């Protein structure tokens, strides 16, 4: 019956079969964590635990669906009755049923980031605050952080430390914005992503005898994946469900403190480090055998992470016997870095026969992708950048989804504003401002306010027709599924005619995008893979909830033939045959903002650890001695993280261009680094009567004379003005091709 357990190693088997009481599984990278989670759920069901009594929380919908599919192969479709999904999707599911108890409609809207920013911008105008001082992203982050730490607007206003921080940042009225933001969401019958957590906690807190007790009885077994990524509020909800008098405390958390990298969005490593304080009798299992990576990669990860102070000690090991050393690509400029990385990928494809989808370039910031993109195009390698504009953020998609959202929830103010005059129906900004003013004064929605404002006959007729269309589709939706409702809305709204009239390439693309969305809705109504529920809800409201919680990586196609470019944060949970980590320089990775804070340096090191452990067979690290930052050429030093890897695990690129830039700056100590001592020795002619030419007069194709390198020809010049960098081929030295910053070089033009 339990034959599937035979494939587990001893520690994995213990983690699977210890079903009762608190359990903490510390799962190193590539240690079979998903296998353990899958088998644990299957084992629970085999032991007679009702699937309905199991709550399994993950961080992506894709992971939840894949886990459900795997378990169904072991124990059948009973697994679909398990409450399995992301924190946000599971909590939204509960709130759909219970929201009226805290004053929200069951069909509440879910605001995405852009919706939230739109609301904040409206509030800034209302309060007559300067958006340059009250940056909308900063304000949104402050509100999000407050919610994640269970701080309500009233608590925020009374918190002297928070008020002082806002005053220091020249945003002293943030507490007012927060208060109005919450009021706006309530008027619009909407929750943002943080509310899905905060309002659930509030629901459980305010309804202990019915709602909280109901879900405590239901969720007898709780599993939490990626526990190191939970924030204060998520753990607070988990403890409400699990920590109470006479509780069986059947909780299993799985995670790795060494992969805690999301502090910037509220995650706290404290949750996993302090788990034993809350559950002192917790049994701990450490999954330390790595099945993913070769020995050099595994040991490099160990080398790096041992430098962190706060950690749960473990030693990752592997039985894989061989593998290439880690390649270090030392580059003079960021352009050369891009070129070397692209050439290395060509080598991986030709020499080792890797496919494009097996290769990834990872970097600290999304802005670094540009140079890699340019060089990949040079060698004609297809790629995809993650972190760009999402399909669901395109204007035409947001327009159409706004129609669907308003059909489901007439109080959705952001949806109303977006489509009240699209397609154009003679209702301008001044009219919409009147709606807003009335709604604010009377604490009602824009839909309700619009009925109270006197309009011109033409505008009044347009508004009446618009409302009739929305109500007509809403009425028909009660007896129809999401696809048929959406198709009806597409036609009756005027969007279909509007998009079909634009015959430009851009217009056709917009129409194709909306049709692709409709295809997705059709798939939702016909397939059951989107939901773990036995009786799937195919309504428009259910579809909108599922689509609002999709992440970019949920949409990715792992079989597609492209090289992946993404930030390290986005790469967590993924693996590739070959990984190149770019931009390994001080003040870039680790970042400048982390350089003076030991705790932030530890997080940057964990981030590097995650990057290293994405690689299965090949790992390359690259850095550039010079890089353009905000239009200025910046000198860089190699990242401290490179030095933390033992030298015997590294192989320096044989085609490395010697660091000519630094050789030219021996008299400038600020520009020196540890590589200067490795300067090549070569003979050169004795130069007399040398006279340097103005740097701005040097052009491609010229012959020049240098006091150290002798005669050479300028092959190319990159950059502009004082940031020009010349590639020069010298005649009589080792490694004759050099890149030289012209404003520092002394070159004489040879006639």
- Contacts of 734 by beta carbon, 8 Å cutoff, 6+ apart: 680, 682
- Sheet with 283-287: strands ordered across: 83-86, 54-58, 221-224, 251-255, 23-27, 283-287
CB 594 within 8 A of CB 364: no
Find the length of the chain: 751
DSSP code string of 171-216: -TTHHHHHHHHHHHHHHTTEEEHHHHHHHHHHHHHH-IIIIIHHHH
Q: What is the CB neighbour count within 10 angstroms for residue 564?
A: 23
Q: What does the DSSP 8-state code read for residue 304?
A: H
Q: Is 14 helix (H, G, I), strand (E, B) or coil?
A: helix
Tokens of 211: 């709602």
The Cα 432–Cα 413 span in angstroms is 11
Catalytic residues: 33-34, 225-226, 259, 614
Distinct helix (H) and strand (E) counts, the chain? 30, 21
Instruction: Tell me how far apart the alpha carbons of residues 564 and 562 are, in angstroms, rounded to a whole number.
Output: 6
- Residue 373 to residues 340, 530, 570, 656, Cα–Cα distance (Å): 13, 34, 18, 21
Measured CA to CA, the distance from residue 11 to residue 36 in angstroms comes to 10
Residue corresponding to tokens 């006959």: 457
Angstrom distance (rounded) from CA 584 to CA 340? 14
Residue 47 CB contacts under 8 Å (≥ 6 apart), including other chains: 19
- The two tokens of residue 550 are 């999709």
End-to-end CA, the chain: 87
């Amino acid at each position: 019956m339990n034959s599937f357990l035979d494939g587990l190693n001893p520690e994995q088997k213990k983690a699977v079969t210890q079903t009762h009481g608190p359990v903490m599984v510390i799962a190193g990278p590539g240690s079979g964590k998903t296998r353990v989670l899958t088998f644990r759920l299957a084992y629970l069901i085999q032991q007679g635990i009702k699937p309905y009594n199991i709550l399994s929380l993950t961080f992506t919908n894709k992971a939840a669906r894949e886990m459900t599919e795997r378990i169904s192969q072991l124990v059948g479709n009973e697994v679909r009755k398990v409450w399995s999904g992301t924190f946000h999707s599971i909590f939204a599911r509960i709130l759909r049923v219970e929201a009226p108890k805290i004053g929200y409609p069951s069909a509440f809207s879910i605001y995405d980031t852009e919706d939230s920013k739109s609301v904040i911008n409206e509030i800034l105008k209302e309060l007559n605050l300067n958006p340059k001082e009250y940056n909308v992203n900063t304000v949104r982050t402050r509100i999000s952080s407050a919610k994640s730490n269970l701080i309500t607007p009233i608590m925020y206003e009374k918190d002297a430390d928070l008020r002082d921080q806002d005053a220091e940042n020249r945003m002293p009225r943030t507490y007012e914005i927060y208060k109005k933001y919450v009021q706006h969401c309530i008027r619009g019958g909407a929750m943002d992503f943080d509310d899905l957590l905060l309002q659930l906690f509030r629901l459980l807190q305010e309804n202990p005898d019915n709602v909280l007790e109901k879900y405590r009885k239901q969720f007898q077994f709780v599993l939490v994946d990626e526990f190191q990524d939970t924030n204060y509020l998520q753990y607070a909800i988990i403890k409400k469900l699990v920590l109470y008098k006479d509780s069986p405390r059947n909780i299993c958390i799985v995670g790795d403190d060494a992969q805690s990298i999301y502090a910037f969005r509220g995650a706290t490593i404290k949750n996993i480090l302090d788990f034993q304080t809350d559950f002192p009798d917790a049994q701990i299992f450490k999954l330390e055998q790595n099945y993913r990576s070769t020995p050099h990669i595994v040991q490099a990860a160990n080398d790096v992470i041992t430098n962190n102070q706060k950690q749960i000690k473990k030693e990752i090991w592997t039985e894989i016997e061989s593998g290439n050393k880690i390649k270090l690509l030392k580059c003079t400029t960021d352009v050369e870095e891009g070129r070397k990385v692209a050439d290395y990928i060509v080598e991986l494809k030709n020499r080792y026969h890797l496919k494009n989808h097996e290769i990834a370039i990872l970097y600290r910031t999304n802005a670094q992708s540009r140079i890699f993109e340019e060089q990949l195009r040079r060698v004609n390698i297809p790629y995809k950048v993650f972190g760009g504009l999402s399909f669901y953020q395109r204007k035409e998609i947001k327009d159409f989804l706004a129609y669907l959202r308003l059909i489901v929830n007439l109080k959705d103010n952001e949806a109303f504003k977006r489509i009240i005059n699209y397609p154009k129906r003679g209702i301008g900004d001044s009219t919409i401002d009147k709606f807003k003013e009335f709604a604010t004064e009377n604490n009602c929605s824009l839909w309700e306010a619009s009925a109270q404002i006197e309009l011109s006959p033409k505008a009044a007729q347009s508004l009446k027709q618009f409302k009739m269309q929305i109500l007509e589709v809403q009425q028909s939706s009660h007896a129809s599924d999401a696809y048929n409702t959406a198709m009806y809305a597409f036609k009756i709204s005027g969007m279909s005619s509007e998009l079909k009239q634009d015959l430009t390439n851009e217009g056709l693309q917009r129409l194709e995008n909306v049709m692709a969305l409709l295809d997705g809705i059709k798939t939702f109504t016909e397939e059951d893979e989107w939901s773990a529920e036995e009786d799937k809800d195919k309504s428009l409201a259910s579809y909108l909830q599922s689509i609002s919680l999709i992440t970019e990586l949920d949409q990715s196609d792992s079989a597609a033939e492209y090289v992946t470019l993404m930030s390290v944060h986005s790469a967590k949970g993924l693996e590739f045959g070959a990984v190149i980590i770019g931009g390994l320089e001080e003040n870039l990775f680790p970042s400048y903002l982390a350089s003076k804070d030991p705790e932030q340096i530890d997080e940057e090191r964990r981030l590097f650890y995650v990057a290293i452990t994405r690689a299965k067979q090949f790992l390359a690290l690259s850095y550039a001695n010079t890089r353009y930052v905000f239009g200025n050429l910046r000198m860089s030093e190699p990242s401290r993280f490179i030095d933390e890897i033992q030298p015997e695990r590294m192989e320096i690129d044989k085609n490395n261009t010697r660091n000519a830039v630094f050789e030219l700056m021996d008299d400038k100590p600020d520009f020196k680094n540890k590589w200067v001592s490795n300067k090549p020795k070569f003979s050169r002619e004795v130069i007399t009567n040398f006279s340097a030419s103005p740097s701005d007069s040097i052009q491609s194709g010229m012959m020049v004379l240098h006091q150290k390198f002798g005669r050479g020809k300028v092959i190319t010049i990159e950059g502009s003005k004082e940031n020009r960098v010349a590639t020069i081929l010298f005649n009589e030295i080792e490694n004759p091709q050099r890149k030289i910053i012209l404003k520092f070089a002394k070159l004489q033009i040879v006639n």
